[in-house]
Amino acid sequence: MQQQPSTRRALIGLATALASLTASAQTAVAPPPQAVLNLAATAQVEVAKDVLSVVFSATREGPDAGVVQNALKQAIDTALTEARKIAKPGAVDVQTANFSLYPRYNSKGAINGWQGNAELVVEGRDMQAIAQLTGRLPTVTIARVGYTLSREAREKVEADVTAQAIARYRAKAADMAKQFGYGSFTIREVNVMTNEPNGGGPVPMMRAKAEMMADQALPVEPGKGTVSATVSGTVQMK
């Protein structure tokens, strides 16, 4: 059966329209970017750590779980009462931490006693007050000591170190563009990241050393932390 002229013309028109759309879509596809350079630059600054964190620990053991638990509670309560005397918002914070109780077993697998551990954490920027406190807590021993950088101190230098990283990024982009034979550049996309100071978390102390410090102030030597900023992204050389 032959197609009517009007139907034939409609089909030809549809085919032409589809061919035109396909050609337009192919034309609209952007060519791959040319003369695009990936770059990264980092700046860092050392800052004195200003927060001291001391973790005190109490360990008790005995044949009865309830007795051991009460002994731990009494040890922490006594230390907490003394620590609260120096607590001050923004300067010294005091809080209880881990409290655990577990059984001990003999060679036959039967429970022959209980052992427990409890912790008290004292941290803040008043390092001298915290250091002096360590000599007034006879019911606990020092388990871990660490130094960190406060949020205020970190934010104070973040703006400067970020500005340094951005300046290094732009200088690097200009130099690289010149070496490739281009006269200038424009920034296509960029990411800026800052890091936390390296290290500084509470670190374990040898038990013998901790017990020696039970009746004397803790020596304070905070050291420094590193705050860094990294700028990365792409530039269009022109």
Domain extent listing, the chain: 32-50+149-201+222-238, 52-148
* pTM for this model (two decimals): 0.68
Q: Tell the CATH topology of 52-148.
A: Alpha-Beta Plaits (3.30.70)
Other CB atoms within 10 Å distance of the CB of residue 17: 10
Q: DSSP for 57-86, please give it.
A: EEEEEES-HHHHHHHHHHHHHHHHHHHTTT
> How does pLDDT run along the chain (238 residues), one tens digit per residue?
555 555 655 555 556 655 665 655 555 555 667 889 999 999 999 999 999 999 999 999 999 999 999 999 999 999 999 999 999 998 999 999 999 999 999 998 899 999 999 999 999 999 999 999 998 999 999 999 999 998 888 888 999 999 999 999 999 999 999 999 999 999 999 999 988 654 555 555 544 444 445 556 788 888 888 899 999 999 999 9
Domain 32-50+149-201+222-238 identical in fold to domain 52-148: no
Q: DSSP for 94-145, please give it.
A: EEEEEEEEEEEE-TTS-EEEEEEEEEEEEEES-HHHHHHHGGG-TT-EEEEE
Position 68, amino acid: V
Is 200:49 a contact under the CB 8 Å cutoff?
Answer: yes
Class in CATH terms, 32-50+149-201+222-238: alpha beta
State the Rg of the chain over Cα.
34
| pLDDT given for residue 1 in this prediction | 52
SS3 for 181?
coil
| pLDDT given for residue 221 in this prediction | 81
| pLDDT given for residue 15 in this prediction | 60
112's tokens: 């022959």
